[in-house]
Each structure stands twice: as C-alpha cells, then as structure tokens.
Structure 1
C-alpha cells in the first residue's frame, strides 16, 4: 500500500479531460479527482451519460488507462441541507447520483461537505453557528442536527450499499468543520462509510494545526486534499473570522465564481488569510512532516492537490504545488 499523488481537476475545467490529464501527467502526478456536482460544474464527468451507459463508463476508464492515470475520487461539495431551493434539494440529488456513479465505476472515494441547515424550520437561508457561547445558539444547533442526522444516516446507508466511502471536507460554514464537530457527527450518526477528507488549508485558516488533527482523527481520514493557506499580517486586527468584505462586484467581468450562480465577495486589500499554492504558505519540511503523520494513521490514501491561488496561472500553480508535494513525498519516503 502507498499514497497516490494527484490533483483535483476543477481548476482545469476550461480544458477537456484528456488535456487536463496531460497537464497532471506532465507534473509527474498519477491520480485525478473529478467534480460531479454541487457548487461547481462537472465538465470532466458527464454524470447523466455515465450513469446511463456502461459504454460511457468504459470510455472513461480507457482514457485514464491510456494516460497512465488513476481515477482517485469524485467530488460533490455542496450544501445538501440548505433551505435554499437552488442548493439543498439539487445538491442532495447530486450527492446521491455521485455515490451511485462511484459504485458503478469502482471508485472508492467521494468527497462531500456535511452541509448547513437554517436556524429553524421556517428559515430561508443556511446559518453557520461559529461559537455557541450564547445559549440560544445551542438551540439552533440542536435543530440543525435534527435535520442533519436522518439525512446522513440515509446517505451512509446508500454509500454502504454501493461500497463507497464518503469523506467530509471540514470546511467553515458547515456543521462539520473541525475534528471535534466530526466527533459529534460520529456520536449522532454512527456512520460506517463516512470519514474525513483532510484538507489542511481549512484548518490553517481556523488556526488549527493539521498534524495534530491527523493524530486526533486517525483512521477516520480516508482522503486528502493538498492545499495551503497563508495567514497574513491583516489577521492581527481582523482575526481569521473577519466579516469586513465588500459586495460581489456589479460588473460580471470582475466577478470570481465560487460555484454555479455563486460569486466571491470582494476581499479586503489587507486580508487576514488567503488560499495559496502548495508551498507558498508552508515549506517542503512542513509537508514532509504532514505526509509522515498521514502515513502513520492511514498508509493507503489518495493525496490530491487543490489549486485555488489566483496569484498563479492554473497550470503554473499546479506545477508548483506538485514540485512541493513530490519533494515532500520523497523526503518522507511515502
């Protein structure tokens, strides 16, 4: 058993899948993770066609074989618990179809998010409770768990039936965003086929130490995103939970999409943090220790670069990240 190093192809969605795989192979990567719904498009995996046709699935497998690459995961990150009609039901539908597709393709890993319900049965928008020191916030959380638990019990059963392993991104603005909230999920849902996608960038952002999180989560880690975060000087006065952003630009040409119909707010000029290319926030020595810690708890993982650093081009950022990741892998001997 060994790690498979690859990349999530969402940043290359302007290229065909064949072209995207060539980019990854050119960076000496061996695996690829494809998006299949949720917040962002899925140009590299035509889910309807793949579900309907063994011929389509065979052609996808053949393409990966021809390129000497491995399909190491499907990603359907969204908010399946959202009260918004444009999010909750469509994202839950995407999640179920992705699990079915993964089972049909023989792909083990499906990356998802735990989701965020509203504050009460009549809520119009999802609401993330950050720190429930105020007692009423605990009441909101209890309502949110009452929505989440039966949904994820059903999804866990579907994943078990299809022999698929779900992996939650511990992402802010979700019920599960830390090791402790994942442990709450374990206690309430008692899943057999839902673990963690260890994405250190979301942990750095929250001022956690990913290596400590790896040791805490242990074998619950079933998938990994290799992604970096830089905490910047602005954090000294803004903090990492800063809400002082400006609205989405009115000019569509200046907008940064974060999903289908979703756009990034305008960031401050001196932000507290930002996602950066792998190696721009933490050096090879850090990533060597990170991979060593992972190997100690889960010796058979897919580790996929997720490139979201606007300071570098799509290919340039992937290549920089691959150099850092593969140098760390060599140093760690994994």
Structure 2
C-alpha cells in the first residue's frame, strides 16, 4: 500500500477536465479530486448527467483512465445546516446527490463540511460559536447540535447504504472544526461512515499542531488535503481570530471568490495569517514528518494539494506544491 498524491481541481475550473488532468500529470501527480456543489461550481463533474446515465459514468471514468489518473474524491464544501435560503437547503441537496454519485462512480470518499446552524429556530444567519465560556453560548451550541445530529445521522445512513465515506474538513466557522469538536460529533451521532479530511492549513490557522492532531484523530482520518498556512507577525497584536477586515472590494476585478456569489473580505495590510502554497509556510522537513505521521496511521491515504495562495497563479501554485509534496514523499518513503 502507498499514498496516492494528487490535487483538488477547483483552482483549475477555467480549464476542461482533460486540461486540468494534464496539468496535474505534468507535475507528477496521479490523483484528482473534483467539486460537485456547495459553495463552488462543478465544472469538472456534470452531476445531473452522471447521476442519470451509466454510459455517461463509463465515459467519465474513461477520461481519468486515458490520462493515467485516479478519481480520488468528490468534494461538496458547503453549509447544509445554514438557515440562509441561498445555502442550507441547496447545499444539503448537493451533499445527498454527491453521496449518490460517489456510490455510482465507486469513488470512496466525499469531502464535506459539518455546517453551521443559526443561534435559534428563528435565526436568519449561521453563527459560529468560538469560545463558549459565556453560559448562554453553550445554550446556543446545544440548539445547533439538535439541528446537526439528526441531519448527519441521515447522511451517515445514506453513505453507509452507498458504501461511501464522508470526510469532514475541520474548517473554522463550522460546528466541527477541531479534534475535540469531532469527538463530540462521534459521541452524539455515533457514525459508521463519517470521519475526517485532515487539512493542516485550518489547524495551523487556529494554532494547532497537525502532527498532534493526526495522533489524536488516528483511524478517523479518511482523506488529506495538502495545504499550508503562514502565521504572520500581525498575529502578535491581532491574534488568529482577528475580525478587523474591510468590506469586499467594490471593483469586481479586485474580488477574490470564495464560492458561488461569495467573495473574500479585504485583508488588513498586516494580517495575522494567510493561506500559502505548500512549502511557503512550512518547509520540506515539516511535510516529511507530516507524511510519516500519516503513514503510521494509514499507509493507504489520498493526499491532494489544495491551492489557494493568491500570490501565485494557479499553475505555479500547483507546481510549487507538487515539488514540496513529492520531495517530502521521497524523503519519508510514504
């Protein structure tokens, strides 16, 4: 057994699937993870057609075979628990359809987010409760769990029926965003087919140590995103929970999309942290230890680069990430 090294193709959505796979193969990668809904479009997976037609599914799998690439995951990053009418219901449906499609395509893993409900039944927006030392915040969390538990029990049952595993990205602004909150999820939901997508960038951001998280999460790690974060000097006075951002730029040309109809706020001049290309925040030695820690847990994981560093264009970012990842792989023997 050995790791499969690939990339998430969302950053190449301006290219056809065939062109995206050619880019990944050209930098030495052998796996591809494609988006199927949620916050991000699905240009590399015609979900309706693939669900409706076995012939379309055969032809789709043939595209990967012709490129000597593996389809290693479907991603549906969204907020299926959101009270917003533009998010919750649609994202939940995207998740259901993605689980169905993963089963039909025999793709083992669906990468998703746990979601964030509102504060109460009448809430209009999702609310992320970060540090509930204030007692009323615990009451909000209990309400949010009361929304999440039955939903994820249903999704777990569907995944079990389709022989698919759901891998939660431990992303801030979600109910499940850390090892302890995932352990709460395990206790409350008792899932059979839900685990973790280990994305170290979100752990670095929160000042966690991914190597310790790997040891704690262990057999619950089902999938991995190779993505880096740099914690910057601004953290000294801003902290990593900084809220001092400016509005989305008025000029559409200056906006950074975060999903369909969503854009990133304007970053401060001296931010506390930034997502960076793999290797720009932590060196090859770190990623060598990272892969070694994962191999001790499961030597047969998929490791996919996720490029979100605006300092590099899409191709350069993937190239840099692949060089770092594959050098670490060679050193670690994983």
TM-score by length of 1: 1.00
Q: Give per-residue Cα distances to partners, 1:72-104, cap 9 Å, x unaligned.
A: 000001000000000000000000000000000
| Mapped pair 1:4 → 2:4 | yes
Matched residues in 2 for 1:284 and 1:109: separation? 27
* Cross-structure match for 2:121: 121
1:139-178 correspondence runs (5 A): 139-178=139-178
Matched residues in 2 for 1:282 and 1:250: separation? 34
Matched residues in 1 for 2:61 and 2:245: separation? 44
Q: Secondary structure at the match of 2:207?
A: coil
- Compute the displacement of 1:221 (Å): 0.1
Q: Give per-residue Cα distances to partners, 1:275-329, cap 9 Å, x unaligned.
A: 0000000000000000000000111100000000010110010010000000000
Matched residues in 1 for 2:49 and 2:94: separation? 14
* Cross-structure match for 2:231: 231
* Cross-structure match for 2:267: 267
Q: Secondary structure at the match of 2:33?
A: strand
* Cross-structure match for 1:53: 53
Matched residues in 2 for 1:268 and 1:55: separation? 50
* Cross-structure match for 1:331: 331
* Cross-structure match for 1:283: 283
- Compute the displacement of 1:29 (Å): 0.1
* Cross-structure match for 2:66: 66
Q: Secondary structure at the match of 1:303?
A: strand
Q: Secondary structure at the match of 1:253?
A: helix
Matched residues in 2 for 1:210 and 1:255: separation? 31
- Compute the displacement of 1:251 (Å): 1.7
| Mapped pair 1:218 → 2:215 | no
- Compute the displacement of 1:52 (Å): 0.6
- Compute the displacement of 1:254 (Å): 1.5
Q: Secondary structure at the match of 1:201?
A: helix
- Compute the displacement of 1:249 (Å): 1.1
Q: Cα RMSD between the aligned structures? A: 0.4
- Compute the displacement of 1:261 (Å): 0.7
Matched residues in 2 for 1:90 and 1:171: separation? 20
* Cross-structure match for 1:257: 257
Matched residues in 2 for 1:278 and 1:18: separation? 24
- Compute the displacement of 1:255 (Å): 1.2
Q: Give per-residue Cα distances to partners, 1:210-256, cap 9 Å, x unaligned.
A: 00000000000000000000000000000000000001112222111
Matched residues in 2 for 1:260 and 1:190: separation? 32
Q: Secondary structure at the match of 2:81?
A: coil
Matched residues in 2 for 1:298 and 1:199: separation? 15
Paired positions, count: 334
Gaps of 5+ in 2: none
* Cross-structure match for 2:204: 204
- Compute the displacement of 1:55 (Å): 1.2
Q: Secondary structure at the match of 1:75?
A: strand
Gaps of 5+ in 1: none
